[in-house]
Amino acid sequence: MPDCSTEPRLIAFDMDGTLIADRFIFRLARRFGFEAELKEIMSRNTPEYEKTRSIVSLLKGMRTKEVIDTFDQIPLSPGAQMTVEELKREGHVLAIISDSYTLVTERLKKRLSFDYTVANKLVVKGGKLTGEVEMPLNWTSNRTGCLKHSVCKLNALVSLSEKTKIPLERTIAVGDNVADICMLRQAGLGIAFNPKTRAVEQSADITIKGDMSGLLTIIRE
């Protein structure tokens, strides 16, 4: 039963390095041998959505089964499962907002009983990836966020806030990397979880390191 003493919040989590203990695309690169190409693309001084297109082109011909199998080998971050179960029990609305792919975020959403996920969609034909990607295209609208990411996490958070009728001031964003900064700054409460850069930590209201269960104490207070 939900804990009626607490108003429900919309809590948006990043996936890579936050809910799961590694970046999915790095695992895929190690398994299929395109680490050098991935590193080169990620080092380019171009918008993230352009990098996303280039990275996805490296996945052409992979079977969806191989992709999912690789994802399933990545462990959850310490404390993530228990934390999510408690948040659900207390009646909060949970979302995954990721610049990864719906092929795996939907899988994690189902596994952890999340309510929503927003991510890039890989194009699949005949059980294989075509090397093409459909983006949420929030980066084409400068309504609230930036124009450079393949998934503008702030725009996604605002959209979910409107959909759920939970105001932005009652939202919580949890992330670890630079793509999460806009969302961390504008959410009602921004939480950096094991932040990868100083800028991420400075953009958040609170930092948690190690085990995610520290999140429960913060939200309950």
Domain ranges of the chain: 10-220
- DSSP-derived 3-state class of residue 16: strand
What are the residues whose beta carbons fall under 8 Å from the beta carbon of 165, sequence distance 6 or more?
Answer: none
pLDDT by 10s per residue, the chain, length 221: 344 346 899 999 999 999 999 999 999 999 999 999 999 999 999 888 889 999 999 999 999 999 999 999 999 999 999 999 999 999 999 999 999 999 999 999 999 999 999 999 999 999 999 999 998 754 444 444 455 666 789 989 999 999 999 999 999 999 999 889 999 999 999 999 999 999 999 999 999 999 999 999 999 88
What are the phi and psi torsion angles at 156 (to 5°)?
-65, -40
Q: Which two tokens stand for residue 196?
A: 């990868």
CA-to-CA dists, residue 175 to 130, 199, 220, angstroms: 30, 12, 19
Of the candidates 16, 99, 176, 180, the residue annotated as catalytic is: 16
Query: Residue 14 catalytic?
Result: yes
**Domain at 10-220, CATH homologous superfamily:** HAD superfamily/HAD-like (3.40.50.1000)
What span, in angstroms and rounded, lies between the C-alpha atoms of 209 and 43?
27
Of the candidates 3, 14, 115, 205, the residue annotated as catalytic is: 14
Q: Which two tokens stand for residue 22?
A: 């590694």
Planar angle of CA 145, 146, 150, nearest 5 degrees: 105
Q: Which residue(s) pair with 207 in the sheet? A: 192
Instruction: Choose among 136, 140, 139: nearest CA to 117.
Output: 136
What is the enclosing helix (H) or strand (E) of 67?
A: helix 64-72
Query: Residue 16 catalytic?
Result: yes
